[in-house]
Structure 1
Amino acid sequence: MKIQLKEKIILIKICLAFVLAVHSSILKSQTPDKDIFSIINLDYKGLEDVKKLHEAGKDTEACAALLTYYKQRTKIVNPELDLSHIWISKEEQRWADDALEHKFYSHEGFVPSFFYGKDIDWSYWPVKDNELRWQLHRQKWFIPMGKSFRLTGDEKWAKEWTFQYLDWIKKNPMIEKNNNSTGQNNGTASKDVSQADLENMTYAWRQLEVSERLQNHYSYFQLFNTSTYFTPEFFCTFLANVYKHANYVVNNYSRDGNHLLFEAQRLLNAGILFPEFKDAPKWRKSTIDILNKQMAIQIMDDGMQYELDPKYHMAMIYIFCQALTIAELNGYQAEFPPKYKETIEKMIAAYYGILLPDLSMPMFSDTHEMPAANAIANLKNFTKVFPNDQQIRFLITDGKEGVAPQSPLIAMKTSGFYSFRSSWDRDAIGMVYKGGPGGGDWHWHCQLDNGTFNIMVKGRNFFPDSGSYSYAGDDEVMKMRNWFRQTKVHNTLTLNDANLENVDTRCLLWKTIGNADILVTENPSYNNLKHRRSVFFVDKKFFVVVDEAIGSATGKVGIHYQMCEGDVTLDLAGQKAFTNFDDGNNLIVKTFSEQKQVMAEEEGWVSYQSKQKKERKAFDFNVDKQSDKPTRFITVILPVESAAKSQEMKAVFANPFSEKGLGVTLKIGKQNYKLNYQL
C-alpha cells in the first residue's frame, strides 16, 4: 500500500512537472510577432535602437530592446495604478486565488465563481444570463493576480496569468464582422467559421468588453513586466493584442449611450499610454471628438445623463473625469474646451442632488444598492478634479467644512428628478421623486415608473425602489427582470395593473406656498387616461400626495406602495399601513378617496443586488372607475414615533376637480391644514 501511494505521488509530481515544462517551453519557443514593427512608429523618440535592430533583421533583439524601452519610460502617467501604493482587498484576493484553479469571477450575482475547466472553456455558460458570459471576458481577476504577484514576488501568479492571457487569445479569435450597435455578429464571416465561434464572438468581442480589456492592458504591463514570464517575445504578442483591441474599438463603436462613452474613454487611455503606435494620434482624436460631441448630446441641460439611471449617471461622471485626468497628467488637456469641465461640475451637482439625505442612492432604473460610503468615496474622487468645490467639501465632511448647497429643494425639470429635504443634515426627512421624459433605445435602463419616489427619515428608506434583479438572458432571466420593471411594483398609479403605455411627464408646478413645498407633475400614462400627481411637503415634516386619474378610460385605478422590509402592518379595514420599528422611527401611510376604495395586499420584493431579492410588504388603494369622472386619492405619509400613539387623521378635497388647481383640507389630531395651488 505504501509503495502504491509513493508511486502515485511520484506520478503526480511528474505530471505537474510536465505541465510546467510545457508552459515554459511555449513561452520560450515564442517567436517575435514581426507585424509589431509595422504598427509601431519606429521613428518615435527613444526607439532608435529598436529601429536599427529591426532593420538589421534582428527581430528577437529588437523585441528585447522594445521591452527595455517600455520598462524605462518615465513620462507616461497611468492614473489607474500607483505602483508605490499597491493594496489588494479580501475580495480581490479571493478572485486571484480562485483564478489559479480556473474559477473565474465574472459577476456579483454569481458567487461562488464557476469552474471553467483545467483546459479553459471560455465559451462555458452555466447560467443563461448574458451578463455572466459578457463579463467573463472582462477578465476582472487579471489585475488582482498582478497585485498578488507584485506584493508577494511569487512567480506562480505571473506564470498562470501569461498562460490564461495566451489561452484566451488562442481560443477567442476575432472574426471580421459588420459594424453595428449591439455587438451581435452579422454573419459576414467565411463559411469555414463554426456557428459556435460566431456565437462566442458576440460575447468575447462585444465592444464594451473589448474596451475594458484594452483599458486594463497598461496596468497589466506595470504589474507583470518584472516577471521572468514576461519575455520580449510575450511582450510583442501583448502589444499586438493591444493594437488589435484598439483598432477594433475605433472601427466598431457602439451607436450611442453609456457604452459609446465607456469605449471612447478607454480607447483614449490606449492612445495616451501607448503613444508609440502609429495609430495612437488617430485614436486620441477619435475619442476626444466623441467625448466632446456626446457630452452635448447625452447630458441634459439640468446635468443628468439622458438614460435617467442614477448608477449610469455616476459612471458617466467617472468617464468624463477620467478622460480629463489622464489628458492633464500626460499633456493633452488642451484638447478639451472649458465647457467640458463646466458640464462635469453640473453633472456632479445633479448627482448629489438626487441622493437621499444620508447620501445613499435611490435604486431607480437599473441601479443597485449604493450606500452612503459609495457616494462619499465618489465625491472625494471628484475633489481631484474640483479641489475648490465647497459644496462637495460640505457633503463629504458632513457639514464640518465647506458650504452647503444653496437649497435643500432641487428640481431638475428636463430629466424629471426632484428632491425635497428638510435640511442638508444626514438624518433629515427627504423625498427623491422620478418623473421624466420618454425616449428611444437609450432608455433601455429606465423603467416605466413615472411618478415613483423614495422617502427617507432619519436614515431609514421607507420606500426603497424595487431594483432590477437582472439584466438580460434567456426567458427565465427576462421573466425575473420584467417582474421588477413593472409599473405596479413602484410607488405610482396604474390602470388595471398594466405597465404605462405612455411616458412623457411634464412639471406643472414647483413652488413653495405658505408652509408647503409643492410639486405637480402630469403624465399621459394610458390611452385616454393621464395621471396628475401633486406632492405637498408640509412644514418640512410630512408628505401629502394627491393622485388624479383624468380621462375617459375605465377600469381599476390603483395607487401602489412598496414598503421597506421589517415589521410593517397592513390595516386593510382602516385603509392604512404603518411600520413598527422599536427605535422610534416609524411611518404611517393612509389614503382617502371620494369614491369607494379598496386596500389590497400585493406581492412585494426588493432587489438590492443582482440575483438577490428580499420579501417586503406591498399594497395598493384602488377604485373601480366606470365613467369619465376623474378618480382622486389623497395619501398622507406621516413620520411618527409610534403608530399606536399617532393622532387621528382625516383628509378631503376642498373643491371639485379642476384642471386649473387643487384644494385639500387635512386634519391631524387638532391641527388643521389647507393645502392648495392654482396653475
Structure 2
Amino acid sequence: MLLTFAFFFALNIQAEVADPAKEIKSLSPLVIISRLDLELPGLEKVKAAESRGARTAALAALLEYYRNVFPLEPIKGALSDKERKTADNFARHIFQWGPYEPADYGDSVNWQWDPRGDIEWVAAIYRFFWALPLSEAWAATRDEKYARAFVELDRDWIARHPLQDRNIAHPIYTDWVGFPWLDIQTGIRATNLCRVFPILVHARAFTPEFLAVFLASIYDHQVKTEFFPMGQVHNKAMMEQRGFTDIASTFREFKDSGRWMALALDRGQESLLAQTTADGVQCELSAGYHLIVLEDAVHIMEQAEKMGLAVPEAYRQRIRLMYDYLFAVATPDLGWAMFGDVSRQLPGGERSSHELYASLLEASRIFGDPKYAARARLDYSNLPQEKSSAFREAGMYVFRDRWGPDQIYLAFHDSPHPCGSGWHDQPDNGTFELYAFGRWLMTDTGFYTYGHDPEKREWHRQTRVHQTLTLDNRNSSVDARARLWQAGADFSSVTVDNNAYEGFLHRRTIWFVDNSFFVLLDEAIGSAPGELALHFQLAEGKAELDGNGKRARTLFPEANVLVWSAPDEPLTLEEEEGWFAWTYGKRVPRKAFCLKSAGQAPQQFVTLIVPYRGTTAPVVSAGLLDNPTVGADRVELEASAFGKTWRIGRDLAAQSAWSREKGK
C-alpha cells in the first residue's frame, strides 16, 4: 500500500536524543585534543606531546598531520577576473549574493545584517557561501590575504555564535529563532568548512592555535546536530545530515566519528524514505529540492560505505527511483520542468553543461545501468522504447514522442498536497509546460523570489498565472487524485481529479494524439457558483491572440504552438498579465490569456494544444460526441489536425483510453 503525503506530513522523525533537555555549550579549544583518538596511525607525535603537557607542540604536530593527510595540490590555473574580484571583495568584507548589488560590511562584520531585504541573503552568509571562493583564490595564487580573510571571518563568527546562545532570534525576522544554528545553516556550513579545510590548512594563516579553534567549532556542529536535529520530513533534514556526514568523514580522528557516521546513515535513511513517494519523488514537489535531497542521499551512502558501513537496500533502491524520476522528467535540454520553486538555465551551450547532465552520468556510475548516461549523451541505442512516463503517487506526468532535441515534450503536474507547508510547491494543479522542435513554446511562470519581494512571489504563485482552470480567479486547493494513465507507442492519455474548491472538482484529461498534438478536456464538476476561466501562457516572444477565433499562437520563425478552442463555444478570449521568471530575481514579460466562460459549473471545455513546424498554423477542429454528462466516466471526442481525424475517448470505470484514426 502506498503511503500518502498526509502520512509523510504527520510523521515526525524521532531523533535519537540522549536528553532532550540537555544544555549544550561550545567546546573550549583548550580541550580539543581530548576528543581525538590519539591511537590512530600518524598521530604519534601529537600523543607524545600531549602526554607531556606540551599543548602548543601537540597542536603543531596535529597541523603537520593534517597537512600530510590532505596533500597540497599544485597550482592548476589562474583565477578569472570575476573569481579574483569576488575573492578580493570577500577579503574586504564586501559580500554579494543572488541578483543583488554588493554590500560593504565594514571592518566589524554584523552577521545579522540584511542589506537587501531578503532572508536568503542572511542565510547565505551564515552558510559560509563565501568560504569556497576564498579557498579557491588561495589555492590558485597562494596569496595569504585570502587565507587570512577566511581565518578572520571564521574566528569572528565562532566568537559571536557560541552553542549556548543558539536560540537567539533574528532582529528583523523575529520568528527566525535559532537561525545561526538551524538545521540547514548548520549542515551547509559544515559541508563548506569540510570543503575548504583540506586547502586552507596549508596556509601560513592557518596556525596551530587557529586549528584548535576551528576543530572545536567543527565539534560544536556535530554536538548540535546529534542532540538537536531537525527531526521533520523536509529537504533541510538531509542537508543537515550531509553536513554531519561530511564532518564524520573528513575528521575521522574524532573518537566519535564512526558513531556519527552510523547515526547519519540511520537518520538519512529514515528521512529519505519519509520524504519521497514510493515512485521516487521528493514530496515537496519542487524539482530543485528533489535533486538536492538525491545528491545528499548519495553522498551519505557513499561516505558511509567508505567507512565500512553496510547501506540498507531500501535506501539504495529509493535513490535509484529518484534517478528514474530525474531520467523521465528531464527536459529535452536536460533541465527541470519548472513546477514550484524551480529555476532553469536558458537554452544554449554544450550539452555537457546542462543542469542534469552530470547527475545522469552519476546514476550510471552508481547503478551500472547505461540508460542514464545514454539520456545525457543522447546515445539512442541505450535509451528505452517507452518515452512517456507517469509518477502517479506524486502527480507528475511526461508525454514525449521521441528522444532527442526535436522531441515534443509536455510535462503535466496535478498532485496531492505536498509534505510540509507546501512552501516550495504552488497552487497550480493541472498546469503543464510544452517544448517542441527545439524550443520552448509554453512555459511555467516561475517563482521569481523567496524573500525580497513578497508581493511578486505571491503573484507568481497564483493559480491564474498557470495553464489551468480557475473559479473566480481564486487560488485552487492542491488535492489531486490520479484516475487514469495509459501509454502506448503512438498515443498516451492521463486523467486526474483535483478538489480545487469547495463543492468544485476540476477533472483534466489529456490525450497525446498520434504523438503529434494534445487534446484537453477540462470538466468543472460541482455546483459552486463563480466565473470559470481557462488560463494559458506562451513562451517569451511574439504571439498572436485572436479573440474572434478563440485561438492563440506563437510567432517564432521555426516552430510554434496553436492553442485552439471551438469558435462556437460560449467563451471569451482575454489577454492577461504575463511574466516568465527563469531564475531567482529575474523575469521578463510574455503573452498570457484566458478563455472565460459565460456560464457556471457544471461545464466542460475542449482545447487543442498543437505544436507545429514553420509559421503556418494547421487547420484543426475538435468536439465532444453524444453530448456526455459533465463528470461522466465515459466520454468520446473527435479531433482533426494535420489533415487527419481521430476518434478519442476514455472510460474511467474500465480504466481505458483510446485514439483511433478514422479510415483505418
TM-score (norm 2): 0.87
Q: Aligned match of 2:361 in 341, 357, 380?
A: 380
Return closer, same or farther for 1:362/1:669 CA change in 2, 3 Å cut-off: closer
1:195-210 matches, cutoff 5 A: 202-210=178-186
Residues 135-214 of structure 1: matches in 2 within 5 Å?
135-176=124-165, 185=167, 202-214=178-190
Percent identical across equivalent pairs? Answer: 29
CA distance in 2 between partners of 1:268 and 1:47 (Å): 22
Aligned twin of 2:581: 607
Match of 2:304 among 319, 327, 342: 327
Aligned residue number for residue 36 of structure 1: 32
- Whole-Å separation in 2 of the counterparts to 1:92 and 1:460: 32
Deviates more, 1:341-350 or 1:561-570: 341-350
User: What code does the residue aligned with 1:480 have?
Assistant: K
1:547 and 1:633 in contact (8 A); partners too: yes
Counterpart mapping for 1:350-369 below 5 A: 350-369=325-344
Q: Which residue of 1 aligns with 2:471?
A: 495
- Does residue 676 (structure 1) correspond to residue 649 (structure 2)? The answer is yes
State whether residues 532 and 596 of structure 2, in contact with CA within 8 Å, keep that contact through their aligned partners in structure 1: yes
Give secondary structure in 2 for the equivalent of 1:366. coil
1:454 aligned onto 2:433: yes
1:613 deviation in Å? 1.1
User: Does residue 105 of the first structure (1) align with residue 96 of the second (2)?
Assistant: yes
Deviation of the 1:516 alpha carbon: 3.4
Per the TM alignment, residue 143 of structure 1 is displaced from its structure 2 partner at its CA by 1.6
- The within-5 A match list for 1:247-286 is 247-254=223-230, 255-286=232-263
Aligned partner of 2:270 among 285, 289, 293: 293
Runs (5+) with no aligned partner, structure 1: 1-31, 178-184, 188-193
**How far, CA to CA, are the matches of 1:280 and 1:513 in structure 2?**
52
Correspondences of 1:319-468 after superposition (within 5 Å): 319-328=296-305, 330-332=306-308, 334-370=309-345, 373-386=354-367, 388-399=368-379, 403-441=382-420, 443-468=422-447
Amino acid at match of 1:256: V
Answer yes or no: is the 8 Å Cα contact 1:555–1:624 preserved in 2. no
Q: Does 1:587 align with 2:561?
A: yes
Tell me the equivalent position of 1:57.
53
1:221 is matched with which residue?
197
Report the 3-state secondary structure (helix = DSSP H, G, I; strand = E; otherwise coil) of the residue aligned with 2:583: coil
Is residue 433–residue 452 contact of structure 1 (8 Å, CA) maintained in 2?
yes
Residues 1:551 and 2:523 are matched in the alignment: no
Which of 610, 617, 627 is the matching residue for 2:591?
Answer: 617
Deviation per residue, 1:475-507 (Å, 9 max, x gap): xx222211111111111111000001x322122
Unaligned runs of 5+ in 2: 1-27, 653-664
> Is the contact between residue 651 and residue 667 of structure 1 (CA under 8 Å) also seen in structure 2?
no
Distance 1:482 1:145 in 2: 36
- Which amino acid letter does the alignment assign opposite residue 416 of structure 1? G
The 10-residue stretch of structure 1 (51-60 or 411-420) with the greater mean CA deviation from structure 2: 51-60
Candidates 63, 81, 90, aligned match of 1:67: 63
What is the aligned-residue RMSD (CA, Å)?
A: 2.6
Measure the CA separation in 1 of the matches of 2:570 and 2:340.
33
Letter in 2 for 1:389: D
User: SS of the residue aligned with 2:541?
Assistant: coil
Look up the equivalent residue of 2:530 and give its one-letter code: G
Quote the residue 1:182 is aligned against: none
Tell me by how many angstroms 1:207 deviates. Answer: 2.0
Q: Tell me, what secondary structure is at the counterpart of 1:242?
A: helix
- Indicate the structure (1 or 2) with the bigger Cα radius of gyration: 1
Structure 2 equivalent of residue 641 of structure 1:
613
SS of alignment partner, residue 566 of structure 2: strand
Aligned length: 617
- Counterpart residue type for residue 261 of structure 1: M
CA distance in 2, matches of 1:93, 1:574: 57
The Cα shift of 1:260 comes to 0.3
Map Cα deviations across residues 76-108 of structure 1 (whole Å, 9 max, x no partner): 9xxxx98786886665444213212221233x2
User: What do the CA deviations read for 1:499-552 (whole angstroms, capped 9, x no partner)?
Assistant: 01x322122111258963211111111111101111011111111111010101
Q: What secondary structure, in the 3-state scheme, does the structure 1 residue paired with 2:627 have?
A: coil
Which amino acid letter does the alignment assign opposite residue 135 of structure 1? A
What is the CA-CA distance between 1:186 and the residue it aligns to? 7.2
Pair 197,651 (structure 1): closer, same or farther in 2 beyond 3 Å: closer
Name whichever of 337-346 and 586-595 sits farther off: 586-595
* CA–CA separation in structure 2 for the residues paired with 1:346 and 1:359: 18
The 1-side partners of 2:78 and 2:47 are apart by 38
* Aligned mate of 1:563, from 511, 517, 538: 538
Rounded to whole Å, the distance in 2 between the matches of 1:246 and 1:518 is 50
Deviation at 1:62, TM superposition (A): 1.3
CA offsets per residue over residues 46-81 of structure 1, 9 Å max, x none? 33332332232211111111112222237x9xxxx9
Say if 2:363 and 2:373, in contact at 8 Å, map to a contact too: no
